[in-house]
Chain A
């Protein structure tokens, strides 16, 4: 079963939460004020960028102090009425067995539009009078919408995590998962996350799960600016789009390099589309997209880009029936990893090909196809011939090894 490492390695206690020591101290102090009587500011407003532990802090706090966590996040409606229903009573009565409550309004930035009209006003009202501690989280506490609410809250800033902190956690996860990871590789993953621990852990899982080793080459392709969650969303928007407009628009919603997106779609087509006829049709769409990409490259005419996009989005969406037997997770483009894995191999091969080409009057490509297979057999069966040929072709040690060992 697929267990996200972000859940598996989620901290259980406040002490396990990485970084932001100052903020954690502040929170602990505030929550203990409640032991005597409600403090002047009855709500704590934790703000900061995504993936740095704001929500987790509320969860572990409840856990540490044996409180019941009552939470509402962006997936809930937060109209005045809904908020009142959710938190109005909870804030004034303890649980049936006298257990204290901690109320969490998560992702306040998500309160928008008419559907959530009045929600913030009611939250402010509840904060003023609540009998249970309330924690609010948002990316930006200084959004004008929060100005009244802010006055009644104690603000706590969560800072982005230091790269070294992220790296240390990644290292710990790797050792628990039995993955031997290069320091370079982890540094790159950590660096790329730029303080967002959650995305770093997600990236790590995608790259390392089920592997024994993680080398720099395995992660180097990450240095493209694509964000994984964003990609999963785009993929789902494309594969399951209801119409061609939605499918096309999916590309605009995320900042993804189109070439990279094609790799993602290409990897995932056979895992999503099972019917042979639909599979052929979908792959044909990708091939058409790729054809336009080739034309763009050949002509440098970037207006052709729209057709490239059309085929890989709308084309894919309309080529199959969206029937699935359950949720099929999206996969990482293995081709890119295979390419970087076999790059060293291919480099030796090309170098051998060039040497052969020089002596045998042919291209490295042709040598790879017509000569190397035979030389390989000779190198693995006849020592004398091997030495003679190695000298004659002027192969270096790497090349001789490559020809002597590889299948």
Chain B
């Protein structure tokens, strides 16, 4: 996978997020790392920075000193109480006096687990340092935030993304046309993971990469179309819209919170009166909040679809 093939190994290889990288390099020099939170949008190098930091601290055998956990897959309180604690309390045997625990997607941890984590962090600071990775640092509870050095990652500026693409295409011997490059940038934005995945998939087709290839790849990659579902609901066919929703959740395995994010951005692109967009944003926000509280994804989201059915009917009547 090219995302892995081209992932930098050392902090010095990272071309972007200069300020952050420089601070991390100074940690390595001092052989001391505080607890950290890496926050920022996807594909901006948070995980990479954490792995590079570990690599530079411990050398190529860094795996012996580092534990990488993904909070979305192992988010329960028991993981913190058992796995994390066991790792944290055993002493490091190397030159560096502590081990590093990378907790990816930490914003998906339950509140209980975060509370448990806070104690563990405090108690075993001597032997373990935590790097929490999250899209939004706001989803991390305050007590943890206050124990961590915050690092805010931002989307890559355009010229860095261009360089990144050029580097890959040169190395893989690919031809990419100007309109193809533009398309990748347009869709991928500053999300390098997305950019790289689009590039690799477009390359798999085996032709010079142009605008058309890129858009067809992206179109095929998103069969579960949120916009179509919203339009179906607006047209009044609730049962069909609900079926589309169910397919996304069950067949394509998408998470409710991801779908709701897309619904939110699509809603503002719909051709409906602005008044309704704002009204719907309120409903979407409420559903989003309820999902975080552990409500059922399909029921909450289809209540949202029913609201769209109502909106569609009222708009048609010219209200």
Which residues on A are within 8 Å of B, measured CB to CB?
262, 266, 270-271, 276-277, 279-280, 282-284, 286-287, 290-291, 293-295, 297-298, 335, 338-339, 342, 345-346, 349-350, 353-354, 356-357, 359-366, 368-371, 373-374, 376-378, 381-382, 385, 389, 392-393, 407
Contacts and interface: CB of A to CB of B under 8 A. Distances in A.
A295 B292 CA distance: 11
B290 A361 contact: no
A407 B247 CA distance: 12
Contacts, number: 155
Given A283-B305, A294-B293, A381-B204, 10 more contacts: A276-B314, A280-B306, A290-B300, A335-B298, A363-B72, A363-B73, A374-B221, A376-B221, A378-B201, A407-B223
Contacts of A345: 251
Given A369-B255, A370-B42, A294 B296 contact: yes
* 5 cross-chain pairs, A with B, having the tightest CB-CB distances, nearest first: A363-B72, A287-B303, A283-B306, A276-B313, A382-B204
B205 A381 contact: yes
Contacts of B309: 276, 279-280
B299 interface: yes
B86 interface: no
Chain A interface, DSSP helix/strand/loop, else mixed: helix
A349 B249 CA distance: 12
B197 A371 contact: yes
A224 B249 CA distance: 24
Contacts of A364: 72-73
Interface string B249-270: 0111111001000000000000
Contacts of A287: 287, 290, 295, 299-300, 303
B70 interface: yes
A267 to B, nearest CB: 10
Contact of A339 (B51, B250, B254, B290): B250
Interface in B211-233: 217, 220-223
Nearest to B48: A361
B264 to A, nearest CB: 16
A254 B294 CA distance: 28
Nearest to B293: A294
Contacts of A363: 70-73, 104-105, 108
B206 interface: yes
A366 B105 contact: yes
Given A286-B303, A366-B72, A369-B255, A291 B310 contact: no
A393 B242 CA distance: 34
Contacts of B255: 365, 369
A290 B204 contact: no
A378 B200 contact: yes
A371 B73 CA distance: 16
Interface string B186-215: 000000011001101100111000000000
Contact of B310 (A279, A295, A346, A349): A279
Nearest to A378: B204
A360 B3 CA distance: 7
Contacts of A377: 201, 204, 217, 220-221
A298 B204 contact: no
Contact of B295 (A291, A335, A366): A291
B253 A279 contact: no
B60 to A, nearest CB: 17
Contacts of A346: 250, 253
Most buried by A among B73, B309, B313: B73
A280 B307 CA distance: 5
Given A298-B293, A354-B73, A363-B105, A266 B221 contact: no
